[in-house]
Amino acid sequence: MNVKSRKQARIGIGLGATSAIAWGVDTVIIGLIITSTPFKEAIVLAPIIAAFMHDFFSAIWISLLMIAKGEFVNVLKLIRTKSGFILILGGLCGGPLAMTFYFLGIQHAGVTYAASIASIFPGIGAVLAFFFLKEKMVGRTWLGVILSIIGVITLAYVPSKFDVESNFFIGILFSLGAALFWGLEGVISAWGMRGKNVVPFYAINIRQLTSALIFGIVIIPFVQGYPLVFDAASSNIVWLLAIAGLLGTMNYSLYYASIDIIGAARGQSLNNTYVFWAIATEILFIGTPISWQFVIGTAIVLLGSVLVSGNIKSLKADGEPRLNEGGSANPV
Protein backbone atom coordinates (compact mmCIF):
# COMPACT_ATOMS: atom_id res chain seq x y z
CA MET A 1 0.00 0.00 0.00
CA ASN A 2 1.02 3.59 -0.56
CA VAL A 3 -1.35 5.65 1.59
CA LYS A 4 -0.10 9.08 2.61
CA SER A 5 -3.27 10.80 3.82
CA ARG A 6 -6.94 10.28 4.54
CA LYS A 7 -7.80 12.06 1.31
CA GLN A 8 -5.65 9.64 -0.67
CA ALA A 9 -7.28 6.69 1.15
CA ARG A 10 -10.71 7.99 0.12
CA ILE A 11 -9.48 8.29 -3.46
CA GLY A 12 -8.29 4.67 -3.36
CA ILE A 13 -11.66 3.51 -2.08
CA GLY A 14 -13.47 5.54 -4.75
CA LEU A 15 -11.28 4.13 -7.51
CA GLY A 16 -11.94 0.57 -6.38
CA ALA A 17 -15.69 1.13 -6.24
CA THR A 18 -15.78 2.84 -9.65
CA SER A 19 -13.76 0.04 -11.26
CA ALA A 20 -16.58 -2.32 -10.29
CA ILE A 21 -19.10 -0.34 -12.36
CA ALA A 22 -16.94 -0.61 -15.49
CA TRP A 23 -16.39 -4.35 -15.03
CA GLY A 24 -20.04 -5.03 -14.25
CA VAL A 25 -21.21 -3.40 -17.50
CA ASP A 26 -18.33 -5.07 -19.35
CA THR A 27 -19.46 -8.48 -18.06
CA VAL A 28 -22.94 -8.04 -19.55
CA ILE A 29 -21.47 -6.92 -22.88
CA ILE A 30 -19.23 -10.01 -22.88
CA GLY A 31 -22.31 -12.18 -22.46
CA LEU A 32 -23.95 -10.49 -25.45
CA ILE A 33 -20.82 -10.90 -27.57
CA ILE A 34 -20.49 -14.64 -26.91
CA THR A 35 -24.12 -15.25 -27.91
CA SER A 36 -23.85 -13.18 -31.12
CA THR A 37 -22.69 -14.06 -34.63
CA PRO A 38 -20.05 -15.36 -35.38
CA PHE A 39 -19.30 -16.54 -31.85
CA LYS A 40 -22.54 -18.44 -31.26
CA GLU A 41 -21.66 -20.78 -34.15
CA ALA A 42 -18.33 -21.71 -32.50
CA ILE A 43 -19.28 -22.95 -29.05
CA VAL A 44 -15.86 -24.32 -28.10
CA LEU A 45 -13.69 -21.51 -29.43
CA ALA A 46 -15.99 -18.56 -28.72
CA PRO A 47 -14.90 -17.79 -25.12
CA ILE A 48 -11.19 -18.04 -25.95
CA ILE A 49 -11.41 -15.86 -29.05
CA ALA A 50 -13.66 -13.32 -27.33
CA ALA A 51 -11.23 -13.12 -24.39
CA PHE A 52 -8.31 -12.56 -26.77
CA MET A 53 -10.07 -9.82 -28.74
CA HIS A 54 -11.26 -8.14 -25.53
CA ASP A 55 -7.73 -7.91 -24.14
CA PHE A 56 -6.29 -7.06 -27.56
CA PHE A 57 -8.50 -3.98 -27.84
CA SER A 58 -7.82 -3.15 -24.19
CA ALA A 59 -4.07 -3.29 -24.87
CA ILE A 60 -4.53 -0.93 -27.81
CA TRP A 61 -6.55 1.56 -25.74
CA ILE A 62 -4.10 1.74 -22.85
CA SER A 63 -1.06 1.81 -25.16
CA LEU A 64 -2.56 4.70 -27.16
CA LEU A 65 -3.12 6.58 -23.90
CA MET A 66 0.49 6.05 -22.82
CA ILE A 67 1.76 7.10 -26.26
CA ALA A 68 -0.39 10.25 -26.16
CA LYS A 69 1.05 11.09 -22.74
CA GLY A 70 4.59 10.42 -23.97
CA GLU A 71 5.08 7.70 -21.35
CA PHE A 72 5.01 4.49 -23.40
CA VAL A 73 8.81 4.43 -23.41
CA ASN A 74 8.66 4.25 -19.61
CA VAL A 75 6.42 1.19 -19.90
CA LEU A 76 8.99 -0.50 -22.15
CA LYS A 77 11.77 0.36 -19.71
CA LEU A 78 9.76 -1.04 -16.80
CA ILE A 79 9.29 -4.37 -18.60
CA ARG A 80 13.06 -4.98 -18.35
CA THR A 81 13.10 -4.61 -14.54
CA LYS A 82 12.34 -7.01 -11.70
CA SER A 83 9.04 -5.23 -11.09
CA GLY A 84 8.18 -5.56 -14.77
CA PHE A 85 8.77 -9.31 -14.66
CA ILE A 86 6.51 -9.61 -11.62
CA LEU A 87 3.80 -7.61 -13.39
CA ILE A 88 4.10 -9.89 -16.42
CA LEU A 89 3.43 -12.87 -14.14
CA GLY A 90 0.38 -11.05 -12.78
CA GLY A 91 -0.78 -10.35 -16.32
CA LEU A 92 -0.42 -14.03 -17.18
CA CYS A 93 -2.66 -15.01 -14.26
CA GLY A 94 -5.26 -12.30 -14.81
CA GLY A 95 -5.21 -12.28 -18.62
CA PRO A 96 -5.06 -15.56 -20.56
CA LEU A 97 -5.85 -17.75 -17.55
CA ALA A 98 -8.52 -15.85 -15.59
CA MET A 99 -10.19 -14.24 -18.61
CA THR A 100 -10.50 -17.53 -20.50
CA PHE A 101 -11.96 -19.28 -17.46
CA TYR A 102 -14.34 -16.35 -16.89
CA PHE A 103 -15.59 -16.29 -20.47
CA LEU A 104 -16.08 -20.08 -20.34
CA GLY A 105 -17.99 -19.62 -17.09
CA ILE A 106 -20.26 -17.04 -18.73
CA GLN A 107 -20.85 -19.37 -21.67
CA HIS A 108 -21.81 -22.40 -19.57
CA ALA A 109 -23.42 -20.85 -16.48
CA GLY A 110 -24.58 -17.43 -17.70
CA VAL A 111 -23.60 -13.89 -16.76
CA THR A 112 -25.26 -13.81 -13.33
CA TYR A 113 -23.80 -17.09 -12.10
CA ALA A 114 -20.33 -16.60 -13.57
CA ALA A 115 -20.08 -13.08 -12.15
CA SER A 116 -21.30 -14.21 -8.74
CA ILE A 117 -19.08 -17.27 -8.39
CA ALA A 118 -15.97 -15.57 -9.77
CA SER A 119 -16.46 -12.71 -7.34
CA ILE A 120 -15.13 -14.80 -4.45
CA PHE A 121 -11.67 -13.75 -5.68
CA PRO A 122 -11.28 -11.09 -2.93
CA GLY A 123 -11.41 -13.84 -0.32
CA ILE A 124 -8.65 -15.69 -2.13
CA GLY A 125 -6.69 -12.47 -2.60
CA ALA A 126 -7.13 -11.43 1.03
CA VAL A 127 -5.72 -14.72 2.32
CA LEU A 128 -2.79 -14.58 -0.10
CA ALA A 129 -2.10 -10.90 0.70
CA PHE A 130 -2.20 -11.65 4.43
CA PHE A 131 0.37 -14.43 4.15
CA PHE A 132 2.64 -13.21 1.35
CA LEU A 133 2.37 -9.41 1.36
CA LYS A 134 1.92 -9.15 5.14
CA GLU A 135 -1.06 -6.83 4.71
CA LYS A 136 -2.74 -6.22 8.05
CA MET A 137 -6.25 -7.68 8.20
CA VAL A 138 -8.35 -6.83 11.25
CA GLY A 139 -11.53 -8.64 12.20
CA ARG A 140 -13.71 -6.02 10.53
CA THR A 141 -11.96 -6.58 7.21
CA TRP A 142 -12.29 -10.37 7.39
CA LEU A 143 -15.98 -9.99 8.24
CA GLY A 144 -16.39 -7.77 5.18
CA VAL A 145 -14.76 -10.37 2.93
CA ILE A 146 -17.04 -13.10 4.30
CA LEU A 147 -20.15 -10.94 3.88
CA SER A 148 -19.17 -10.09 0.30
CA ILE A 149 -18.92 -13.78 -0.54
CA ILE A 150 -22.23 -14.57 1.20
CA GLY A 151 -23.86 -11.68 -0.64
CA VAL A 152 -22.84 -12.77 -4.12
CA ILE A 153 -23.93 -16.34 -3.43
CA THR A 154 -27.29 -15.00 -2.25
CA LEU A 155 -27.61 -12.92 -5.41
CA ALA A 156 -27.30 -15.85 -7.77
CA TYR A 157 -28.49 -18.99 -6.01
CA VAL A 158 -31.42 -20.66 -7.77
CA PRO A 159 -31.72 -24.39 -6.85
CA SER A 160 -33.50 -25.36 -10.07
CA LYS A 161 -30.38 -24.53 -12.06
CA PHE A 162 -28.57 -27.45 -10.44
CA ASP A 163 -31.25 -29.87 -11.59
CA VAL A 164 -31.93 -28.96 -15.20
CA GLU A 165 -28.68 -27.75 -16.75
CA SER A 166 -25.89 -30.31 -17.14
CA ASN A 167 -23.37 -27.67 -18.24
CA PHE A 168 -24.02 -25.55 -15.17
CA PHE A 169 -21.49 -27.37 -12.99
CA ILE A 170 -18.85 -26.95 -15.70
CA GLY A 171 -19.58 -23.23 -15.73
CA ILE A 172 -19.21 -23.11 -11.94
CA LEU A 173 -15.81 -24.81 -12.12
CA PHE A 174 -14.61 -22.41 -14.81
CA SER A 175 -15.82 -19.45 -12.74
CA LEU A 176 -13.97 -20.77 -9.69
CA GLY A 177 -10.84 -21.01 -11.85
CA ALA A 178 -11.27 -17.35 -12.79
CA ALA A 179 -11.60 -16.44 -9.10
CA LEU A 180 -8.38 -18.28 -8.25
CA PHE A 181 -6.32 -16.60 -10.95
CA TRP A 182 -7.79 -13.14 -10.30
CA GLY A 183 -6.94 -13.56 -6.64
CA LEU A 184 -3.37 -14.42 -7.62
CA GLU A 185 -3.23 -11.50 -10.06
CA GLY A 186 -4.20 -8.94 -7.45
CA VAL A 187 -1.54 -10.09 -5.00
CA ILE A 188 1.21 -10.46 -7.62
CA SER A 189 0.39 -7.05 -9.12
CA ALA A 190 0.42 -5.40 -5.69
CA TRP A 191 3.87 -6.93 -5.17
CA GLY A 192 5.06 -5.67 -8.54
CA MET A 193 3.76 -2.15 -7.92
CA ARG A 194 5.90 -1.87 -4.80
CA GLY A 195 8.87 -1.35 -7.12
CA LYS A 196 10.49 2.03 -7.66
CA ASN A 197 8.95 4.26 -10.37
CA VAL A 198 6.00 1.88 -10.92
CA VAL A 199 2.66 3.60 -11.48
CA PRO A 200 -0.69 1.83 -12.02
CA PHE A 201 -1.03 2.94 -15.66
CA TYR A 202 2.33 1.36 -16.50
CA ALA A 203 1.31 -1.81 -14.66
CA ILE A 204 -2.00 -2.15 -16.51
CA ASN A 205 -0.28 -1.49 -19.84
CA ILE A 206 2.11 -4.36 -19.13
CA ARG A 207 -0.77 -6.53 -17.96
CA GLN A 208 -2.83 -6.06 -21.12
CA LEU A 209 0.14 -6.34 -23.48
CA THR A 210 1.14 -9.59 -21.75
CA SER A 211 -2.35 -11.00 -22.13
CA ALA A 212 -2.77 -9.97 -25.77
CA LEU A 213 0.66 -11.28 -26.79
CA ILE A 214 0.31 -14.66 -25.06
CA PHE A 215 -3.14 -15.08 -26.54
CA GLY A 216 -2.06 -13.98 -30.02
CA ILE A 217 1.27 -15.82 -30.25
CA VAL A 218 0.62 -18.99 -28.24
CA ILE A 219 -3.03 -19.76 -27.48
CA ILE A 220 -4.89 -18.67 -30.62
CA PRO A 221 -2.52 -20.44 -33.05
CA PHE A 222 -2.62 -23.57 -30.86
CA VAL A 223 -6.44 -23.76 -31.00
CA GLN A 224 -6.44 -22.69 -34.68
CA GLY A 225 -8.64 -19.75 -33.82
CA TYR A 226 -7.52 -17.05 -36.23
CA PRO A 227 -10.26 -17.78 -38.81
CA LEU A 228 -12.84 -16.92 -36.14
CA VAL A 229 -10.82 -13.85 -35.13
CA PHE A 230 -10.91 -12.58 -38.72
CA ASP A 231 -14.64 -13.37 -39.01
CA ALA A 232 -15.35 -11.37 -35.87
CA ALA A 233 -13.08 -8.51 -36.96
CA SER A 234 -14.97 -8.20 -40.25
CA SER A 235 -18.44 -8.23 -38.62
CA ASN A 236 -20.37 -5.56 -36.74
CA ILE A 237 -19.58 -7.29 -33.43
CA VAL A 238 -16.07 -5.84 -33.61
CA TRP A 239 -17.42 -2.47 -32.43
CA LEU A 240 -18.93 -4.09 -29.35
CA LEU A 241 -15.60 -5.81 -28.71
CA ALA A 242 -13.83 -2.45 -28.94
CA ILE A 243 -16.25 -0.96 -26.40
CA ALA A 244 -15.79 -3.96 -24.11
CA GLY A 245 -12.02 -3.54 -24.41
CA LEU A 246 -12.34 0.13 -23.43
CA LEU A 247 -14.44 -0.77 -20.38
CA GLY A 248 -11.87 -3.42 -19.49
CA THR A 249 -9.13 -0.79 -19.68
CA MET A 250 -11.13 1.53 -17.44
CA ASN A 251 -11.77 -1.26 -14.95
CA TYR A 252 -8.18 -2.42 -14.67
CA SER A 253 -6.70 1.08 -14.61
CA LEU A 254 -8.96 2.06 -11.70
CA TYR A 255 -8.53 -1.33 -10.04
CA TYR A 256 -4.72 -1.27 -10.14
CA ALA A 257 -4.69 2.33 -8.91
CA SER A 258 -6.90 1.29 -6.00
CA ILE A 259 -4.65 -1.67 -5.13
CA ASP A 260 -1.62 0.61 -5.25
CA ILE A 261 -3.18 2.97 -2.69
CA ILE A 262 -5.18 0.79 -0.30
CA GLY A 263 -3.73 -2.70 -0.85
CA ALA A 264 -4.69 -5.89 -2.65
CA ALA A 265 -7.30 -7.20 -0.18
CA ARG A 266 -9.28 -3.96 0.07
CA GLY A 267 -8.94 -3.10 -3.62
CA GLN A 268 -10.16 -6.54 -4.67
CA SER A 269 -13.13 -6.48 -2.31
CA LEU A 270 -14.30 -3.11 -3.65
CA ASN A 271 -13.88 -4.34 -7.22
CA ASN A 272 -15.91 -7.37 -6.17
CA THR A 273 -19.10 -5.29 -6.17
CA TYR A 274 -19.07 -5.58 -9.97
CA VAL A 275 -21.53 -8.46 -9.56
CA PHE A 276 -24.17 -5.96 -8.38
CA TRP A 277 -23.56 -3.71 -11.38
CA ALA A 278 -23.66 -6.67 -13.78
CA ILE A 279 -27.02 -7.83 -12.47
CA ALA A 280 -28.35 -4.25 -12.28
CA THR A 281 -27.35 -3.72 -15.92
CA GLU A 282 -29.22 -6.88 -16.90
CA ILE A 283 -32.30 -5.66 -15.02
CA LEU A 284 -32.25 -2.20 -16.64
CA PHE A 285 -31.33 -3.10 -20.22
CA ILE A 286 -32.25 -6.76 -20.70
CA GLY A 287 -35.33 -6.92 -18.50
CA THR A 288 -34.24 -9.38 -15.81
CA PRO A 289 -36.94 -9.16 -13.08
CA ILE A 290 -36.12 -7.72 -9.63
CA SER A 291 -36.62 -10.02 -6.63
CA TRP A 292 -36.21 -9.79 -2.87
CA GLN A 293 -33.28 -12.16 -3.27
CA PHE A 294 -31.56 -9.54 -5.43
CA VAL A 295 -32.29 -6.74 -2.95
CA ILE A 296 -31.03 -8.71 0.07
CA GLY A 297 -27.96 -10.03 -1.74
CA THR A 298 -27.04 -6.58 -2.97
CA ALA A 299 -27.35 -5.12 0.52
CA ILE A 300 -25.04 -7.82 1.92
CA VAL A 301 -22.44 -7.24 -0.83
CA LEU A 302 -22.42 -3.49 -0.28
CA LEU A 303 -22.19 -3.88 3.50
CA GLY A 304 -19.29 -6.27 3.07
CA SER A 305 -17.48 -3.85 0.80
CA VAL A 306 -17.92 -1.01 3.28
CA LEU A 307 -16.40 -3.17 6.01
CA VAL A 308 -13.53 -4.32 3.80
CA SER A 309 -12.67 -0.78 2.74
CA GLY A 310 -11.76 -0.33 6.39
CA ASN A 311 -11.16 2.65 8.58
CA ILE A 312 -9.35 5.39 6.70
CA LYS A 313 -7.08 6.01 9.70
CA SER A 314 -5.98 2.37 9.67
CA LEU A 315 -5.32 2.56 5.95
CA LYS A 316 -2.91 5.40 6.53
CA ALA A 317 -1.28 3.64 9.45
CA ASP A 318 -0.84 0.44 7.48
CA GLY A 319 0.81 2.13 4.50
CA GLU A 320 4.09 0.54 3.46
CA PRO A 321 7.17 1.96 1.76
CA ARG A 322 7.84 1.09 -1.81
CA LEU A 323 10.76 -1.11 -2.76
CA ASN A 324 13.52 -0.37 -5.18
CA GLU A 325 14.59 -2.92 -7.73
CA GLY A 326 17.07 -4.40 -5.30
CA GLY A 327 14.28 -5.09 -2.83
CA SER A 328 15.22 -2.55 -0.15
CA ALA A 329 12.94 0.08 1.28
CA ASN A 330 12.62 3.28 -0.66
CA PRO A 331 11.16 6.12 1.45
CA VAL A 332 8.46 8.21 -0.18
Q: Is residue 253 scored above 70 in pLDDT?
A: yes
- Averaged pLDDT, 130-154: 77
Residue 220 sits at φ, ψ, to 5 deg, of -65, -45
- Cα(15)–Cα(214) distance, integer angstroms: 28
Q: Poorest-confidence range of 151-155, 185-189, 317-321? A: 317-321
Q: What angle do CA 190, 192, 197 make, to 5 degrees?
A: 110
Do residues 10 and 248 make contact, with C-beta atoms less than 8 angstroms apart? no
Q: What percent of the chain has pLDDT over 90?
A: 36
Q: Is residue 133 scored above 60 in pLDDT?
A: yes
Q: Is 286 exposed, middle or buried (0-12, 13-18, 19+ CB in 10 A)?
A: exposed
Read off the pTM.
0.79
| Strongest mean pLDDT among 8-12, 111-115, 269-273 | 8-12
CA dihedral 129, 122, 63, 103 (to 10 degrees): 130
**In whole numbers, what is the pLDDT of the chain averaged over residues?**
82
**Span 77-107, pLDDT tens digits:** 999 999 999 999 999 998 899 989 998 998 8
When pLDDT is cut at 50, 70 and 90, the band that residue 294 belongs to is confident
